[in-house]
Chains A and B, each alone.
Chain A
């Protein structure tokens, strides 16, 4: 079991460029999440998905889009990167339990936007 994996691990973009971050999980989890982590601000939810084909906005969704075409994958897209999107991005997944439950996190992607 690889758990939750993220691709790439590091990326440097110029302002205005686009990119997609890939998250994959092999635990057959229904729920998947994208967070960003900034110094002094903890983990903030960007978007999440409660199942294949569904997505929903989190706390800080502006400037990001997501897709969940397959149950095991959750993609985070930046259409036009801005320096304010410099951050460490974490993907997480959890199984559906009818209530809040443990989330399993990936190793993170460090993104720098120049």
Chain B
């Protein structure tokens, strides 16, 4: 089955700086790569996703890049703000509509 590795497990950045979280996956059949944000005491919520026919996708301060050859994808958050502090999960999925999640990154924005 699919295996998704996520790094780093914790990340602290100064407010206004950029944050990058990286994931690798094992199954070359995976074609859907979402990123979820989980705030304290809540369920994960989708913030951005990318499919394998696209190399990069942006949504305001958030971007995701995908390298299918190397089987890795990354989340980039620019101009970080205190409300970006949360746990972020990457995931990979394909035709059976199941997702395999990474182990999460706790992002802390330092004011």
Contacts and interface: CB of A to CB of B under 8 A. Distances in A.
B97 A106 contact: no
A63 interface: no
Interface in B59-99: 89, 93-99
Nearest to A38: B103
A105 B32 contact: no
B44 A58 contact: no
A103 B99 contact: yes
B98 A45 contact: yes
A107 B31 contact: no
Contact of B89 (A43, A97, A98, A107): A43
Contact of A43 (B49, B96, B97, B101): B101
B32 A43 contact: no
A99 B45 contact: no
Given A40-B9, A40-B103, A41-B103, A100 B95 contact: yes
Given A42-B104, A100-B32, A102-B34, A90 B97 contact: no
Given A42-B89, A90-B43, A101 B97 contact: yes
Contacts of B6: 42
A60 B34 CA distance: 22
B110 interface: no
B101 A42 contact: yes
Nearest to A96: B97
Nearest to A94: B97
B71 to A, nearest CB: 16
A33 B94 CA distance: 16
Interface of B: 1, 6, 9, 30-32, 34, 36, 41-46, 49, 89, 93-104
Interface of A: 4, 31, 33, 35, 40-45, 48, 50, 58-59, 90, 92, 94, 96-108
Given A4-B43, A42-B89, A100-B97, 4 more contacts: A48-B98, A101-B97, A102-B34, A107-B43
